[in-house]
Each structure stands twice: as C-alpha cells, then as structure tokens.
Amino acid sequence: MKSNRRNFLKYSGMTGLGIAGASMMPSYASFKEIVEEQNKPAHFNMSGFAAPKLETVRIGFIGLGNRGPYAVERITHIEGTAVTALCDIRPEKVSAVVKALDGSIHHPATYSRGKEEWKKLCDRKDIDLVYIATPWALHTPIAVYAMKQGKHVCIEVPAAKTVEECWQLVETSEQTRKHCMILENCCYDFFELLTLNLTRQGLMGEIVHADGGYIHTLMDSNFSKDKYYDMWRLKENFRNGNLYPTHGLGPIAQTMNINRGDKMDYLVAVSGKDFQMSKMAKELASKDDYYKQFANKNYRGNMNTTTIKTAKGATIMLQHDVTSPNVYSRIFKVSGTKGSALKYPIEGRIAFGHEEWQTNEEYKKLEEKYQPPIVKKVGELAKQLGGHGGMDFLMDWRTIDCLRNGLPLDIDVYDAASWSAIAPLSEWSVANRSNSIDIPDFTRGSWKTNQPIDISLEKGGTTKVLS
C-alpha cells in the first residue's frame, strides 16, 4: 500500500513536469482511499518538538542568487551564529558573499564546482542548520538529504512542489527528529503578528473565514535572462494552479491554529485563462531567438482562486496572480465572530463591529496594548536591519533564538508540508474541472491535540541583536 500511495502522490503532485491531462490521473476515489492511510501512526510527532540547545548555530547556506545573500547578511547580526559554509552553482555568487563577509568573524568554506556540491556542504560535521534558498525543484531534495546527515533545515517557500515531496519532508523530519522549517516570512510581518495576538487574547472571537493571496506583478522578472538562473521561475509557470500559496496562507493558518486544533480538509480551485504570458513570450521570440523555446508553451491562467474548508467548518480563500498589472497585495482579511482585520489595500485596520474600522487613534492604542512580545523586543531593530520591512529579520532572529534555547520552532514540518501542498492539489482541481480534492493530514491525527505556537516569549528571547 505504501508503494501505491507513493506512486499515486507522485502523479497527483505532477512531479514538477507540468500537469498531466485529467484522463492520465488516478480517480478521485483512489485518492480518497490513499489519503485514509494517514491514519497509520506517525514515526514521531514533530509538533512542539524541542531539539537540544545549540550555544552557537553553525549554518551552511545553499543558494546565493536572490534571497540567499540577504539571509547571510541578516544572520551576521544575530548573536550565537557562525556562517560555516556557502554554496552556489555559480562561483561569482559565492565570491560576492565571501567578499561581503570580509572583515567579519565569519570565514566560511565555499562550494561552487558542480551541480551536487550542496551534498558536500550537507556532509560537513561542523554544520547544525542548512539554510536553503535555491530554485524550488531543489528544496525538498536538499532538505531531505541534509536532515539525513543530521542537520536541521530552513527552506525558502514553497518547501515542496509535489504531494509526494511533502510526505518525504514529513517522514524524514519525524525519522531523524530534525527541524524542517519553511521560511514563511509573512508570518512575522507586524500586522499579521498583531492579528495573531488579538486572536489569542480572544478579541477576534472564533475565526470563521480568511482571505489571503499573492498578487504581485512579476512579468518582467519572470522573462528576464538575468533574474532567475536558467529561467527556472518562468518554467514554473507552465503549471496551472496556485503556485505560490504560502505567503497568503501561512499567517492565516497560524491565526486559525491549522495543524494545532484544526486542519485543512479539502479545496476547490479555479483558474482563468492566460491572457498575457504566452503573448509576451511570442513577442519576445519575434525579436530574440532565445525566447523561441518559451513561445509555444501553455502558461498558467492569470488568476487562480482556491477555496479551502477546514475540519471545524472555517473557510479560506487564496488567490494567485503574478501577471496582471496589480498593486502588490497579500489581502490578509481575517473575519471572526467578534472582530475582523484587513491589511490590503489599506494600511492595517481592525474592527469590532459592522459599522467602521477603528480610527487611527483607537488602532494605535490597541497596537500599543497588544503588541506581541517579539515586536516589543526586537521590532525596531528588525526594521532598521531590513528584509521586507523587518519581517525577514524577525523570522531569522526567532528561529535562531529557539535553536539556541532548545525551544520548538514556530513553524514545523507539518506546516511546511500542508501549506506547500496547496499548489499541486490546486493544479489537480483546475485540471479536473474544479472538482474538490482532499488535503492530506500530514499530522496523521495529531492536529486534534497539538498545541498552538507559543508567541509569549516567556521562554527564550535571550539572543542579542548585533550591530
């Protein structure tokens, strides 16, 4: 049965090669039968797991293209860290980061002589944490290998491309008892943290619905020869679904206690047609032969809307559109039985009734009273050090502080798997005339007793921010 599940999930996840026709996929009934196998016992419950303390967290960074260098720079401002090794397939990217570290206390080993140099980094005995910021297709392979070599892993979003890969992450993390954290920085944005704390304090009541998304024009970046190595990000757009769900979903999932009191049950996804990408590829190909390889491809629709129902009856709406000329938005609308919150397109607002949002003065008083402890402690420093307004630094600081104090991480492998699985499952739904599809319970039932993440900072919070 395990082999059958693996074979099915391989196809249901589209294996990163683009979605197959509906007639080539297993039936929904088969999927439902296989999902029921989740009832078998887990190897170990990683929710709430605390690894032994690490006085110094020795880190190896893999992927130094767009996000990696900024992650390295942020880590150098956190007490108790050592940049031990750097890896990228392009030597010039490694050299640039080494040069940026010149004069610091960090003197990393470097790996840039082949496509599997990352394995050499993972094999090192003097690394505790592997920080992965590569193209998406490498996220799971590197993470699985690193955990098997005894390393904790932090993976850029999404953590996996297929449902099969999601299960690989879960089973490897459970078997090795190594942390597998998806680097969902939006969980550490200031308004999202405030909303989470208001919910924890009971001011929002029971959360009944939330909207999230990733609406962000990336046309120029996706078609640029220089932005993404070997045009990997453009090639991802041959898939048709919600390809990048976690920025919108992550903060919502934490507010709803997904995997820790509730779980996502099933989804339905709808995609419109591609109005722009194919047209742009053909226009570029008419001027530059390089783009002819992209001129006759099927691209995802401009807008994907995915609707999710949870086991306890709440609903989530996620949208994905990185083509249309929209102003950036993650939407972030949370509706509870006592209040609501909205971040885009306005500056974050809270309401405790149906008539008006709180005034600026009322909101400021509320923010001061319910500001989360992490923001009180390092929020201003995080804004100064940067990273999407400071949320990247808050994420890294909190992760390192948990590792140094032997505390559970805020985001675990079940979050990495369930949030990332929305992409391949939405592809299946789109390809099957928007039929509903079950979302696997990666916790194998432990969501019923898993405890919500601790945002109190009553434990930990001891790691200093360095100038």
Closest CA to 268 of 314, 236, 315, 313: 315
Distance CA 72, CA 104 (A): 12
Find out whether the peptide bond into 372 is cis, omega within 30 degrees of 0.
no
409, 179 contact by CB (below 8 A): yes
Distance CA 441, CA 47 (A): 13
**H or E element that contains 191:** helix 190-200
317, 303 contact by CB (below 8 A): no
- Residue 255: burial class (beta carbons within 10 Å; 0-12, 13-18, 19+): buried
- Helices 360-370 and 190-200 cross at an angle (nearest 10°) of 70
Q: Say whether 266 sits in a helix, a strand or coil.
A: strand
Distance CA 102, CA 363 (A): 44
Walking along the chain (467 residues) 10 residues at a time, the average pLDDT comes out as: 40 36 46 61 94 98 97 98 98 98 97 95 98 98 98 98 94 98 98 98 98 97 97 98 98 98 98 98 98 98 98 98 97 98 95 94 97 97 94 98 98 98 96 96 97 95 95
Q: Say whether 115 sits in a helix, a strand or coil.
A: coil
Domain locations along the chain: 2-39, 186-373+410-448
Closest CA to 264 of 426, 83, 21: 426
Distance CA 327, CA 217 (A): 8
83, 108 contact by CB (below 8 A): yes
Distance CA 182, CA 314 (A): 24
Closest CA to 417 of 5, 13, 7, 2: 13
Dihedral of CA atoms 165, 249, 410, 457 in degrees, nearest 10, equals: 170
Pairing of strands 109-111, 180-182: unpaired
> Quick one: DSSP state of residue 192?
H
CA 229 to chain centroid, in Å, comes to 20
| Dihedral sign for Cα atoms in the order 181, 247, 131, 138 | positive
The tokens of 89 are what? Answer: 């397939």
31, 8 contact by CB (below 8 A): yes
- Residue 233: burial class (beta carbons within 10 Å; 0-12, 13-18, 19+): buried
> What per-residue confidence (pLDDT) applies to 31?
57
- Residue 49: burial class (beta carbons within 10 Å; 0-12, 13-18, 19+): middle
466, 385 contact by CB (below 8 A): no
Adjacency order of strands within the sheet including 333-336: 349-351, 340-342, 333-336, 207-215, 315-321, 304-310, 264-271, 437-438
> What per-residue confidence (pLDDT) applies to 28?
54
Distance CA 459, CA 404 (A): 11
Pairing of strands 152-155, 180-182: parallel
Q: Which CATH number fits domain 186-373+410-448: 3.90.420.10, 3.90.320.10, 2.40.128.20, 3.30.360.10?
A: 3.30.360.10
Q: How far, in Å, are 140, 174, 180 from residue 154 at the CA level?
A: 11, 15, 6
273, 227 contact by CB (below 8 A): no
Provide the phi-psi class of 304: left if phi over 0, else alpha when psi is between -120 and 50, else beta: beta
Q: Which residues of 132-171 are buried (b: 16+ CB within 10 A; e: fewer)?
A: bbbbbebbbbbbbbbbebebbbbbbbbbbbbbbbbbbbbb
